[in-house]
Chain A
Amino acid sequence: MIDLHGYGPRLLEGALITIELAILSLILAVVLGLLTASAKMSRNWLLHRLGTLYTTIIRGVPDLVLMMLLFFGGQIGINMFTDMLYAHYDIDIFINVNEFVAGVITIGLIFGAYMGETFRGAFLAVDSGQIEAGRAYGMSHWMVFRRVRFPLMMRHALPGLSNNWMVLLKTTALVSVIGLSDMVRVASEASKATREPFTFMIIVAAIYLLIASFSEWGFARLQKRYNVGFGESH
């Protein structure tokens, strides 16, 4: 049996943090992605520009730099804001930026940009006849979105979505740098303490591969579901 020098439980906790972080940031990223895709497809000039600016800047800067900017800068920014509240309105509050929340917001914000691009392409691939048919049935805008556009869009978006999820999962490793005790941080502390880097890093790598393989299976099932009615060729 592999000797974990008592780091086993902490490693497991770290793995749970990694999974929680990944799932919560995925949800945030999907919501932001749908909003960005809508903004970029909107006829409103300002919304279109804002969407483009967001996706261009986020995708042009390394994840780690954005994470540090938001984590270290976020605390100072919030402090400046609360100081201002105190000075002008006599409201005394203190908000501490939690590493986990900072991690979720940063990763969600980064992948919102990638998801936005994926969703935009997928929405554009939906046959406009389908949308017209929905409107002809007297469906409201929201109902057309929920019953026609979204399910049809997902069929095109799933490959990109699955790809983004795999990258997102690996990006969660970066939160160890800003001090969150995810499994990479636990493993790196354990490596330094026990001088056995291979044991811990290979376990962590195996857990990542396990999660990736499991999600690949899940996405294959989803793909099958959203391909219903489109024949076996897809």
Chain B
Amino acid sequence: MEALIANITELLSDNTIFNMQTLGYYGQGLATTVQLVFLALVIGLVLAVPLAIGRGSKRKWIKLPIFFYTYVFRGTPLLVQLYLIYYGVVFVEGIQDTWLWLILEKPFYPALIAFTLNTAAYTTEIFHGAIKATPRGEIEAARAYGMSWGLMMRRIVLPSAFRRALPSYGNEVIFMLHASAIASVVTIMDLTGAARFVYARYYAPFEAFLFVAAIYLCLTFAILFLFRFLEKRLLAHLKPASQ
């Protein structure tokens, strides 16, 4: 490990911008971005499944509030949602004296809440579309077997809906990764935050932003390949017979 660091240091010795310190910022930024995106996606996914089922409910008082939620969160910019939650929380009277402040003081948590609510709204619509596309015959078959609603959802509807939703969900994951760049606006040192810091310190926009763009590009391709692999495994039954 030490030899590796020594090697990198030697490699960077005549580079004024990319020294060990700035690379450290980028590294921490990468960790923050991955944490933020991963947590938002996981919590958003957990929220989206019941919401998607409710979105397709016949009962108006379940369906309409969920529709309103997804409509508002998909129709407004994430930046506005972030500001609303970030400033909204900070300016609440007396919040700085409560225990909640310990969590909300860092901009990470307001950002996480905004990202989670945003991705949950998009994911709800994706799953809703996938559930709606369930072939009628499958549902009738489940009914004919005497399955209860819960059992039918668990064994028939959801597994096939998840598979159908996979390509769109992959796009949503990439969208979330890219959207997370705005976390830097509320002073979070994510990847973009690190790039902005390096830009401001060395006044070197090309180096700072092209480097971070390359990192995002690698992350995007990694997600793309992961989902392509998953699709290949999970959607194998949909492939043309000749292949």
List the interface of chain A (C-beta within 8 A of B).
57, 59-66, 68-69, 72-73, 76-77, 166, 170-174, 176-177, 184, 187-188, 191-192, 195-198, 201-202, 204-205, 208-209, 212-213
Contact = CB atoms under 8 A, between A and B. Distances in A.
Interface in B170-198: 177-182, 184-185, 192, 195-196
B84 interface: yes
A138 B190 CA distance: 59
B88 A61 contact: no
Given A68-B205, A177-B182, A201-B80, 9 more contacts: A57-B217, A62-B179, A63-B181, A64-B184, A69-B213, A197-B88, A201-B84, A205-B72, A209-B72
B181 A65 contact: yes
B75 A209 contact: yes
Contacts of B158: none
Contacts of A195: 91
Contacts of B71: 209
A209 B184 CA distance: 25
Nearest to B199: A72
Contacts of B192: 62, 64-65, 68
B42 interface: no
Interface string B191-213: 01001100100010110011011
8 contacts: A60-B220, A61-B213, A62-B177, A69-B209, A184-B79, A184-B83, A188-B83, A201-B80
B72 A201 contact: no
Contacts of B209: 65, 68-69, 72-73
Contact of B216 (A60, A170, A202): A60
Given A60-B220, A61-B213, A196-B91, A208 B75 contact: yes
Contacts of A197: 83-84, 87-88, 91
Interface string B55-71: 00000000000000001
Contacts of B78: 170, 173
B75 A65 contact: no
A200 to B, nearest CB: 9
A64 B76 contact: no
A205 B78 CA distance: 10
Most chain A CB atoms below 10 A, which of B77, B84, B177, B203: B77
Nearest to A63: B178
A62 B178 contact: yes
Contacts of A176: 79
Contacts of A177: 79, 182, 185
A223 to B, nearest CB: 19
Contacts of B109: none
A46 B192 CA distance: 32
Given A65-B195, A65-B209, A201 B87 contact: yes
Contacts of A172: 77
A191 B72 CA distance: 20
Nearest to B212: A65
A176 B221 CA distance: 29
Contacts of B72: 205, 209
A192 B87 CA distance: 8
A77 B210 CA distance: 14
Given A72-B199, A191-B87, A62 B181 contact: yes
Most chain A CB atoms below 10 A, which of B192, B206, B213: B213
A39 B182 CA distance: 32
A174 B184 CA distance: 12
Contacts of A188: 83, 87
Contacts of A170: 76-78
A25 B225 CA distance: 31
Contacts of B91: 191, 195-197
A198 B88 contact: yes
Contacts of A208: 75-77, 80
B84 A68 contact: no
